[in-house]
Structure 1
Amino acid sequence: MKSITYILPFLWVMVAMGSCNVEPKPIKVGTDACSFCKMGVADKRFGAELITRKGKVYKFDDLHCLVEFTRTEGVKHEDIDGMYLVNYEKPHGFIELQNAFLFKSEAFKSPMGSNIAAFQTKEKLAAASQSVEGSVVQVTSLMPFHK
């Protein structure tokens, strides 16, 4: 019975660690502030998040701020677990940065002026490009270190 008393706390810690799910957290417009520019998040269509390997979540109001944060702040590239962009068409959903299809248009008017929207599929991007003038953007042109 004594060995059970020692094993139970260990098992609880293992379960707690296993249940830690590092994924994007909902961005709250009007409540959350950008981790880079410190402005309040004002447009639900352009947010982004960076999550470290330790589970810290940094929220951004625009792709521009995420890019600048990765260039200038104290998070090393090897400490980044994931980067996510808000799905332009479904603002409560996220797309992993490497899976996003990016389109830049002056018609988008994003908070910090990147004017880049993230789409889930090539087809969604193509549909958007039919209604507004702009150009496709490659992730590697914004973040060369990103695979």
Structure 2
Amino acid sequence: MKPSFIFCFAMLGCILGCTVGPKPIDYGHVGCHFCSMTIVDKQHAAQLVTKKGKVFNFDAVECMMNHLKDEDESTIALFLVNDFDQPGELVDATGATYLISENIPSPMGAFLSAFSEEQAAQFALDDNGGELFTWNQLKQEYQ
């Protein structure tokens, strides 16, 4: 093979291997980065992806929020949470609406759920009580 072909092939491999994006959570097999509990709940899991493509999985949004207390957020490319109404579906955490309701348990006991649609969060609030938060309000709660 020609050296230029080998170089191009190697560069393509690096580009494809270093993509920054969400990775599927292997429910029932992977542990939470914060508390080490096995992640099984598809309605409450969360994920951080660094700008270098490293993935951190969490069994609950509250674990991710607690982890962020000690994290340099400028290194994070993606903040992701499971949509409560679409179990297993990771959505942008910064655009989600959050509900803290004692009638909806979460894995670590904070009663915190994320919704991709504000209207869905409002329906859950109407049915279960509690309080709604935006991403920035939730971050303030966990400082």
Normalising by structure 1, what TM-score? Answer: 0.84
In 1, are the aligned partners of 2:96 and 2:134 still within 8 Å (CA)?
A: no
- Pick one of 13, 17, 40 that aligns with 2:14: 17
Whichever residue aligns with residue 24 of structure 1, its letter is: P
Provide the alpha-carbon RMSD of the alignment. 1.7
- Structure 1 residue runs of 4 or more that deviate by more than 4 Å after TM superposition: none
What does residue range 78-97 of structure 1 map to in structure 2 within 5 Å?
Answer: 78-97=74-93
Give yes or no for contact 2:95–2:135 (8 Å, CA) kept in 1: no
Q: CA deviation at 1:34?
A: 0.4
1:49 maps to what in 2?
Answer: 47
> Considering only CA atoms, is the larger Rg found in Structure 1 or Structure 2?
1
The Cα shift of 1:81 comes to 1.1
Deviations 1:58-110 (A, max 9, x none): 100111110111113xx422211111001111112111111111111111110
Distance 2:138 2:127 in 1: 24
Give the % identical residues: 28
